[in-house]
Amino acid sequence: MAQGLAGVVSVGRLAVIVNTADDFELWGLHISPDLDTVMYTLAGVANPVTGWGVAGDSHATLEALNRYGEDIWFSLGDKDLATHILRTQALGRGESLDQVTNRLAGALGISTTLLPMTNDPVATRIHSGDEILDFQEYFVARRQQDVVDAVSFVGIVEGRPAPGVKDALADATVIVVCPSNPIVSIGPILALPGVCNAIQASDAVKIGVSPIIGGKALKGPADRMLTSLGHEASALGVARIYRDLIDLLVIDEIDRELVEPIRNLGLEVHVSQTVMGDRQDRERFARDLLTAAQRLRSHA
């Protein structure tokens, strides 16, 4: 979605606010999985097969770590490592996460403003039965097999939006809640004190895109997570979650029968082909979405 928008929005007019509650430390390195995925995608170097990591990356360091007896439950490519090394070094000498993110993204030729939601440490925890799991433990090591009974964001109350986040929301003409996991990817951003207020106070047209299509998440555990947390795993369930935040929900053609129920919540609905393929297709969808926003604005 971010890549599609970057292709159709004027240079300097797109900011992407990214979840950092998945960040964690591994072998002393600060890993920001969501920032990296967005950064690599915008730089055109993302691995198209996995959706994360760098295309064509090798794993010589990881194999050497394994030889040292390390558990290599989390895959780090060799090229990818350069990002973690430089980020860790920068944070260690007092640079903030938004500063180093800006610097690394700039070096990769990205003109889109890439903003971590916060410079403060926030950590998602997955509560499953009696267990409390670190997010990556749940997501990667245990392959999202645990039933999610509750989710918490440690540090969220003390977290402050990173410099630029509130301004980006205030200055926006369109705010898009991208089709990502509403609980653990979008959830932390919205839970950060000040973010919801900034969205509500903004004059922007506010659009959500349902990550649930035909009752399923395209990838990841969002559908099961919604269900186990008492939501409905459908575009309607997503609409209920975002209803106080957005003006318009974009849903897939396959979910056309949900238009009326969603409208009954007081939301506008735009039906589109929301499954994005290659870069061109992502831009096709971004254009369609911005057209819907434009239409809504002119009606308002």
CB of 103 to its own copies, least distance (A): 8
Q: 117 CB contacts (<8 Å, ≥6 apart)?
A: 17, 18, 19, 20, 21, 159, 161, 162, 165, 188, 189, 192, 195
- A 10 A CB-CB count for 42 gives 23
SS3 per residue for 44-110: CCECCCCCCCECCCCCHHHHHHHHCCCCCCCCCCHHHHHHHHHHHHHHHCCCCHHHHHHHHHHHCCC
Segment 40 to 59, residues that bind its own copies, using CB under 8 A: 54, 57-58
Size of the site for its own copies (CB under 8 A): 32
Segment 6 to 35, residues that bind its own copies, using CB under 8 A: 27-29
Binding mask 202-231 for its own copies (x = CB under 8 A): ------------------------------
Contact call for residue 60 and its own copies (CB under 8 A): yes
Point out which span in 75-83, 188-196, 217-225, 281-289 binds its own copies (CB under 8 A): 75-83
Q: Which CB, 92 or 193, lies closer to its own copies? A: 92
Point out which span in 68-76, 171-179, 256-264, 269-277 binds its own copies (CB under 8 A): 68-76
Q: How many CA atoms lie within 13 A of 242 on its CB side?
A: 35
Q: Are 169 and 204 in contact (CB under 8 A)?
A: yes
Beta bridge partners of 175: 206
Segment 80 to 99, residues that bind its own copies, using CB under 8 A: 80-83, 85-86, 88-89, 92-93
Residues that bind its own copies (CB under 8 A): 27-29, 54, 57-58, 60-65, 67-70, 77-83, 85-86, 88-89, 92-93, 104, 107-108
